[in-house]
Structure 1
Amino acid sequence: MSRQLYKRLRLDEYKLRDAITGIRDLHNLADPVGVVQIHREIDAGLIMKRITCPLGVLGVIFEARPEAAIQIAPLAIKSGNGVILKSGKEAKHSCEVIVKVIKQGLSNTIVSPDIVQLVKTREETLKLLKMDRFLDLIIPRGSKSFVRFVQENTNIPVLGHADGICHLYIDKAADMEKSVAITVDAKAQYPAACNAIETLLIHSSIAYGFLPPIAAALQSLNIELRGDKTTRDILPNIAVATDYDWETEYSDLILAIKIVDSLEDAITHINHYGSKHTDTIITEDSKAAEIFLAMVDSAGVYHNCSTRFADGFRYGFGAEVGISTQKTLPRGPVGLEGLVTYKYTMVGNAHIALNYTGDNAKSFTHRDL
């Protein structure tokens, strides 16, 4: 078993504590169902509302993270959805116990325990992907190849991201102490996470001063460094970085480093090689930060903080069903708001469209109530 797989499978007291805290935070959030988003008089006696409602049934397929079941089931319950969970075979025993406990909890409420289901085999997963009449959304959580497999084998809408290629750019106006601390956290705190950085970009004017202490801090934690030619002029003992490294999600103790000549070069690199997940800039120049935040095309764009904050629990969502890197909504960590849709209701009194056309057409009032 690889080191990354072991870390994902391990449900230690800290992961469990965070999961429980997330559920309690979720409990305190407002009910997302039945919210009136628009309340409008179309004409006297003709009233339209837009009201939030559940999506229906979610199919959530995840690999080796048993805590995902703890995060996802309460989000589905709170948003009024049914959920069918499928874990990787490595996590199936943990997930069986977790789902059993969730069902026991639901048995003491007005909510049916049957709204949470667990499927266990690959054959059941393949059947699930073909159930487009019954499932409303598929959420895959796992490797790039796994997410692509799901996307290519179902007609059901899929929410997810295929890659987590996150960047940290150290600008010419960066603070040294902040740069070291944030780089180490963004890479080493949990390298297997999709919000850990895979590439470090650093401005050429400060590279000779900043790179050695950053490299020393990373190497003391057994991070393997790979660099472009200019980086290796400063750090001659590290491996060569190629185009492959700029487009790879390692999910491991490996970091690619590139020297850039400007903020614009950094933004261009990120928008070309990134996966639209989360990217951050370290700088004391507020104008440079403003440009970076506006021009980097990612779901999360940060200033002077670690990419590791890209998480539904840390955003105050209670938990997340996954992270979406698509341009359409929902985007970023997906909590309750991403699991509801809306419908339009209209109540009238013998109103007909014919009266609003022709020479003597009535006018709409379109008055918000």
Structure 2
Amino acid sequence: MTSTVTPDLTTLAQQTRAAARQLAILSLEDRDRAIKSIAQALEAASSEILAANQADCEAALAEGLASSLYGRLKLDATKLKGAIDGVRDVGRLPDPIGAVQIHRELDTDLVLKRIACPLGVVGVIFEARPDAVMQIASLAVKSGNGVILKCGKEAVRSCEALVKAIQSGLSAANIDPAVVRLLTTREETLALLRLDSEVDLIIPRGSNAFVRFVQENTRIPVLGHADGICHLYVDRHADISQAVAITVDSKTQYPSACNTIETLLVHESIASEFLPLAAAALREKGVELRGDDRTRQIIEAEPVTESDWSTEYSDLILSVKVVNSLQDAVNHINTYGSRHTEAIVTTDQATAAEFMAQVDAAGTFHNCSTRFADGFRYGFGAEVGISTQKLPPRGPVGLEGLVTYKYQLVGQGQIVATYSGKDAKPFTHRDLPL
């Protein structure tokens, strides 16, 4: 951490901070107008964006990019339209800036407020995820923040086309396009991580090794998760057909997503009935099954290894284990899970409640797919990332992850000496309406 930051990047970050300060004082109407303008610019540039992404995909295939990363890189017309719809959804969200969280009279004419405000400048470093550009840029504008985006080399053409359209939309709304910047080289990644005086938060989105690299190479606070090892537990009281459908969706709807299950746990009393049906449905989707000894007595599967339990495949591979009880399932999850999203299928409410209380994860689901762990599906409009840390924000992070707060105290000449010593005046500490 002793290398010198290049002056150029420092200057660019300072320009982004200055632009963000101007953005933060705009009205909600002006910020929402800018988001609408961004959506329109993205639509107008759709053909250029898709062509750029096609070029990225062709180059990635030629270089042998992993299938999990390729799935995240690919941006077809449907996915692009969905992302642009997500931009518009952000424009319909409540204003995250200026919300009064505390309004308290300390004494007559001495009033304290705690008010939500932007973070300032956010650095987002991601691998093959061009859709992240649209999500994060719209959330940044809505919350009055500047954002410095750093994409992976496999997505450079896509991200350049996207940022060009976003900056065009900002300019059309009379907002400094420096609010959204794009970096493209590895050297810039290292330089960005050293900008602790200019950048307020780093959000990494990518592989386990990538996120850990970011966490270990910056003094800037980091929001994110290193692993997405999610589980589905099929309880002895599960509805079989429901359990099969949830299993298939949780594994195959988007195999490279971080909220996809990597391990299926099945109660021993239901395993012989459930596993053959689940295995057939999964194989139809091309899933490779790896099972423990008890699983392989019921269905055909490759032998599972100890390392499989702690592997995020991000692919059509699923480890399967037969467990003796709910507690065995919970113990396995708390041992190998990444505190991301864990689910149970059961008709027994008490069992579900116990599972959801004991499992240590940002999301605990009952009778539904783990794929619902997503900012857009939660109604956040979009997400800046998913956090598995204990302190908030946790889970899919939307606008609340891009705001902090400040305390404002307004008085009429009061001094602390009045409230100290033998004849100290008491505080009223009376809460006022928000």
TM range (shorter): over 0.9
Q: Secondary structure at the match of 1:234?
A: coil
Q: Are 1:59 and 2:152 an aligned pair?
A: no
Q: Distance in 2 between matches of 1:81 and 1:280?
A: 34
Match of 1:265 in 2: 328
CA-CA distance at 1:307 after TM superposition: 0.3
AA paired with 1:360? D
Q: Distance in 1 between matches of 2:341 and 2:75?
A: 25
Match of 1:89 in 2: 153
CA-CA distance at 1:7 after TM superposition: 1.4
Which range is displaced more, 149-158 or 4-13? 4-13
The equivalent position to 1:324 in structure 2, one of 379, 382, 387, is: 387
Match of 2:400 in 1: 337
Q: Distance in 2 between matches of 1:353 and 1:259?
A: 65
The equivalent position to 1:12 in structure 2, one of 73, 76, 84, is: 76
- Superposed CA offset, 1:103-142 (max 9, x none): 1100121421111000111111111001100000000000
Which range is displaced more, 190-199 or 352-361? 352-361
Which range is displaced more, 143-152 or 14-23? 14-23
- Superposed CA offset, 1:156-194 (max 9, x none): 001000000000000010001100000000001111000
Match of 1:150 in 2: 214
Match of 2:136 in 1: 72
AA paired with 2:169? G
Q: Secondary structure at the match of 1:52?
A: strand
The equivalent position to 2:313 in structure 1, one of 250, 253, 262, is: 250
AA paired with 2:306? D
Q: Are 1:201 and 2:241 an aligned pair?
A: no
Which range is displaced more, 352-361 or 262-271? 352-361
CA-CA distance at 1:14 after TM superposition: 2.2
CA-CA distance at 1:356 after TM superposition: 1.4
Matches within 5 A, 1:166-181: 166-181=230-245
Match of 1:282 in 2: 345
Q: Secondary structure at the match of 1:350?
A: coil
Q: Distance in 2 between matches of 1:148 and 1:4?
A: 19
The equivalent position to 1:125 in structure 2, one of 177, 181, 189, is: 189
AA paired with 1:141? R
Q: Secondary structure at the match of 1:186?
A: helix
Q: Are 1:98 and 2:162 an aligned pair?
A: yes
Q: Are 1:213 and 2:277 an aligned pair?
A: yes
Q: Secondary structure at the match of 1:107?
A: helix
Q: Distance in 1 between matches of 2:155 and 2:258?
A: 19
- Superposed CA offset, 1:262-295 (max 9, x none): 1111111111110000010000001111111111
Q: Distance in 2 between matches of 1:6 and 1:353?
A: 61
Match of 2:412 in 1: 349
Q: Distance in 2 between matches of 1:183 and 1:75?
A: 32
Q: Secondary structure at the match of 2:347?
A: coil
Q: Distance in 1 between matches of 2:78 and 2:355?
A: 34
Q: Distance in 2 between matches of 1:332 and 1:99?
A: 27
CA-CA distance at 1:5 after TM superposition: 2.4
Match of 2:430 in 1: 367
Q: Distance in 1 between matches of 2:153 and 2:375?
A: 25
Q: Distance in 2 between matches of 1:355 and 1:82?
A: 42
Q: Secondary structure at the match of 1:211?
A: helix
Q: Are 1:162 and 2:247 an aligned pair?
A: no
- Greater fraction of residues in helix: 2
Q: Distance in 2 between matches of 1:161 and 1:44?
A: 46
CA-CA distance at 1:3 after TM superposition: 2.1
Q: Distance in 2 between matches of 1:252 and 1:123?
A: 30
Q: Distance in 2 between matches of 1:111 and 1:51?
A: 24
TM-score (norm 2): 0.84
- Superposed CA offset, 1:184-217 (max 9, x none): 0000111100000000000001101110000111
Q: Distance in 1 between matches of 2:102 and 2:408?
A: 10
Equivalenced residues, count = 368
- Superposed CA offset, 1:218-253 (max 9, x none): 011110101111111112x31111210111100001
CA-CA distance at 1:348 after TM superposition: 0.9
Which range is displaced more, 4-13 or 309-318? 4-13
Q: Distance in 2 between matches of 1:110 and 1:92?
A: 26
Q: Secondary structure at the match of 1:151?
A: helix
Q: Distance in 2 between matches of 1:222 and 1:59?
A: 37
CA-CA distance at 1:353 after TM superposition: 1.4
AA paired with 1:197? I
AA paired with 2:346? T
The runs of 5 or more residues in structure 1 that have no matched partner are: none
The runs of 5 or more residues in structure 2 that have no matched partner are: 1-63
Matches within 5 A, 1:222-261: 222-235=286-299, 237-261=300-324
- Identity among equivalent positions (%) equals 65
